[in-house]
Structures are given as C-alpha cells and as structure tokens.
C-alpha cells in the first residue's frame, strides 16, 4: 500500500536510527494503530524493525528485496523507474515490457523479476536467471531517433551500466564489444535491446539487463562456470540489488539524456575508455565468416573498427569477438 511504501521509505532514510511514532503519524497522516499494523506487515516480509517505548521504530535489517518501494526509496531520477512493475517469477522481463507497452506503459517504465524461467540472450541464446541472486530487468525507452541509429542505444546502455557498477562496487568492469560487461574476462552482465518500429521510426525499445549480483561462483551451471562471474564472486561481499538498480537507473537516465542532447560522440568516448580489447588482436566471427585484426575503436555508427593485416580499417557490424 502507499502508506506502507512511505513508512518504509522513512525508516530506510533513518536506518539504524529511531523515528518516533509521533513523527511517523505526522508525516504519513495516519494513526498509531495503523502504523503498528504496517510495521507488522513489514516484519512478515522479512524486515527487522526494533520498537522501543518513547523512542519509536528503528530499521535494523532489510532483506534483499527488489519490490518497487525498495527501489523508489533510493531513486533520484526524473523519469526512469517511476513506474515499476515487479513480479516474483516470469518467463522473461522482456515479455513483461512488451505486454506493458500494450497496456499504456510510458518511457522509463521498469519491468523486473526475482527470477526468469526463460531469460533470453541475443540471437536466441539463453540467459541463466536464478531466483533472487541477480538483477533481471527491462527498461522501456521511446527515443525519437531514426531506426538505423538503434545500435547506438545498446552501446549507450553498456556505458551507463558500467558506470553504475563501478560506482557502487569499485570493481574493474570493462566492456567487450558490443555489450558484454566483463570482470577479469568473465561475463558479469549482458544487455539485450529489442525494438519495434515501422518505416524509419522507432516505436519503442526494450532494454534488457541481466546482471549476476550475489550468485556464488560454485552455483553457476557447468557450461557457465569458466565464462561467467558475479559481483559477489569477484569481491567477496554481497550487494543490495535495490541499491544497484537505483544506481543503474540514475546512470542510464544521465547517459540517455546526454545522448539525446549531444549525440553519440560523448558516449563513443566513454565507451572506448571502458573497452577491454582495444589495441589487441582479435577474431571477429561475423555471419560472413571469421575476420582477423586489431580492434581499434568504435565507429560513429556503433560498429567496431578492425584493422586488418593489410592495414585497412574496416567496420564490423555484427560479430562475436574473441581475443587471439
Ligand atoms: P548474449 O547472447 O550476449 O549472451 C548469452 C550467452 O551468455 C549464453 O549463450 C551463455 O553462454 C552466457 N550466459 C547465459 N547466462 C549467463 C549469465 N547469467 N551470466 C553470464 N553469462 C551467461 C546477453 O546475451 C543479453 C542477456 C540479457 C538478459 C536480460 S535479463 C532481463 C531481460 N530479460 C530477458 O529475457 N533477457 C534480458
């Protein structure tokens, strides 16, 4: 309920401090009895709230929940994440978002779940999304840009998410073209952009972000153990997902606004500063076959610039990149 959301926001704001019952009822405009009822519900949801006569209530422990009120209490964006659609389990949050558009969702609407049973990657691949250990979310964007610029959105998103992880964890995340986020060569986050458009105009874009947060290294399935990692596995501590989500939304809104006002150039620079293979020999596995070369940078179109053995720089639009 709205009152419970307010109450929780108030307690989070004063975490580890007591807030008096009087103060709470003044701010929420409800009775002491009503507060007690809401406190009881929060406790049932896993919050530890200490109550002391005269002193009031004090939040001692928050479970790692990603319900809307958890995220909103931490959010300072202007539009991203103001509408949040949360479910415990879903086949894919991408699907939730496409559904959401049909029922009138607006730019910045966020769709997220604690678990995905059929999380998807690019080109029909699967995305492992076990319950509560990661962030599985989809953000709705409606940029007024021509269709052919859409690949820039994925690159923009990888810059925003990289900034958010670095800011919240200090971990050395890098970007592998086009949009894999790696720590020490292992994938910690994947980004999937799906768009709907007609003629030359984008109708909307669903930006899907999958991030391994508290997944223990040993719990990845066999085929992912050598290629995947999580923030917790890299740092030896756990993270509050709601805090990370708020940071991601903030950084994304910032980089998106920058993109809409100043174009791709500033994004291109940031992307290159986070990229992990520039100056190195790579093989680009393109739909037309493999190509060898040195990764040189990002073209204004979003393509990867590859310098071939003959010294010619060619743009690569679609490929899996491997280091040689
Ligand atoms: P991708 O095609 O680049 O990566 C998929 C590949 O990554 C898989 O084939 C597998 O090798 C590996 N992989 C699968 N699961 C994981 C994992 N949890 N961690 C690391 N590596 C993994 C990347 O696609 C885009 C992924 C987007 C996922 C988000 S989650 C929210 C939204 N909903 C949804 O269904 N997809 C997006």
Looking at every residue in the chain, the average pLDDT score rounds to: 95
Cβ(316)–Cβ(291) under 8 Å? yes
pLDDT at 250: 98
The residue with tokens 């992307």 is 271
Residue-level pLDDT at 141: 98
Centre of ligand 1 from the C-alpha of residue 120, in Å: 6
Q: Which two tokens stand for residue 191?
A: 């980004």
Question: How many residues are there in the chain?
Answer: 324
Of 163, 188, 193, 194, the closest CA to residue 176 belongs to: 188
Residue 87 C-alpha to ligand 1 middle, in angstroms? Answer: 19
Whether residue 1 is predicted with pLDDT greater than 80 in this model: the reply is no
pLDDT given at position 277: 92
Three-state SS string over the chain comes to CHHHHHHHHHHHHCCCCCECHHHHHHHHCCCHHHHHHHHHHHHHCCCEEEEECCCEEEEEECCCCCCHHHHHCCCCCCCCCCCEEEEEEECCHHHHHHHHHHCCCCCCCEEEEEEECCCECHHHCECCCCCCCEEEEEEEECCCCEHHHHHHHHHHHHHHHHHHHHHHHCCCCEEECCCEEEECCEEEEEEEEEEEEECCEEEEEEEEEEEECCCCHHHCCHHHHCCECCHHHHHCCCCCHHHHHHHHHHHHHHHHHHHHHHCCHHHHHHHHHHECCCCCEEEEEECCEEEEEEEEEECCCCCEEEECCCCCEEEECCCEEEEC
List, as own/partner pairs, every contact residues 268-272 make where C-beta atoms lie below 8 angstroms and the sequence separation is at least 24, other chains included. 268/155, 268/298, 268/300, 270/159, 270/163, 271/155, 271/158, 271/159, 271/175, 271/298, 272/297, 272/298
Convert the pLDDT of each residue in 46-90 to its tens digit: 899 999 999 999 999 988 999 898 899 899 999 999 999 999 999
Token digits of residue 211: 């991030």
pLDDT in tens, 224-240: 999 999 999 999 999 99
Stretch among 2-16, 79-93, 130-144, 155-169 having the lowest mean pLDDT: 2-16
pLDDT tens track for 122-147:
989 999 999 999 999 999 999 999 99
Distance 116 CA to ligand 1 centre (A): 11
Predicted confidence (pLDDT) at residue 245 exceeds the cutoff of 80: yes
State both tokens at 81.
Answer: 């994440």
Q: Which residues line ligand 1 (CB under 6 A)?
A: 92-94, 116, 119-122, 125-129, 136-138, 180, 187, 190-192, 208-210, 212, 224, 228
Is residue 16 predicted with pLDDT exceeding 90?
A: no
With the most atoms of ligand 1 within 8 angstroms of its CB, the residue from 190, 209, 227, 322 to mutate is: 190
Strand partners, 120: 126
The best mutation among 92, 94, 127, 186 to test binding of ligand 1, ranked by most ligand atoms within 8 Å of the C-beta, falls on: 127
Domains of the chain: 2-61 (1.10.10.10), 68-274 (3.30.930.10), 281-323 (2.30.30.100)
CA 274 to each of CA 69, 81, 176, 228: distance values in angstroms, whole numbers, following the listed order: 32, 25, 9, 19
């Amino acid at each position: 309920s709205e009152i419970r959301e307010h109450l929780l926001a108030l307690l989070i704001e004063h975490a580890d401090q007591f807030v008096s019952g009087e103060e709470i009822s003044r701010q929420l405009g409800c009775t002491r009895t009503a507060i007690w009822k809401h406190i009881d519900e929060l406790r049932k949801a896993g919050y530890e709230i200490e109550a002391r006569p005269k002193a009031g209530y004090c939040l001692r422990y928050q479970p790692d929940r990603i319900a809307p009120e958890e995220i909103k209490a931490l959010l300072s964006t202007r539009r991203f994440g103001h509408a949040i659609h949360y479910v415990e389990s879903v086949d894919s949050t991408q699907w939730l978002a496409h559904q959401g558009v049909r029922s009138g969702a607006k730019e910045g609407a966020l769709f997220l779940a604690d678990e995905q049973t059929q999380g998807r990657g690019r080109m029909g691949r699967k995305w492992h999304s076990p319950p509560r250990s990661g962030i599985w979310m989809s953000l709705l964007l409606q940029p007024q840009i021509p269709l052919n610029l859409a690949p820039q959105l994925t690159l923009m998103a990888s810059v925003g998410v990289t900034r958010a992880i670095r800011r919240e964890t200090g971990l050395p995340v890098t970007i592998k073209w086009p949009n894999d986020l790696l720590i020490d060569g292992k994938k910690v986050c994947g980004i999937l952009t799906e768009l709907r458009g007609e003629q030359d105009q984008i109708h909307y874009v669903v930006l899907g972000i999958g991030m391994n947060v508290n997944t223990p290294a040993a719990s990845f399935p066999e085929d992912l153990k050598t290629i995947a990692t999580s923030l917790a596995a890299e740092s030896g501590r756990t993270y509050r997902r709601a805090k990370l989500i708020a940071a991601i939304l903030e950084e994304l809104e910032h980089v998106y606004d920058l993109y809409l006002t100043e174009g791709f150039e500033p994004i291109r620079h940031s992307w290159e500063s986070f990229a992990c293979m520039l100056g190195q020999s790579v093989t680009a596995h393109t739909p037309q076959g493999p190509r060898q070369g040195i990764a040189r940078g990002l073209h204004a179109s979003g393509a990867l610039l590859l310098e071939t053995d003959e010294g010619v720089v060619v743009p690569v639009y679609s490929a899996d990149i491997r280091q040689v």
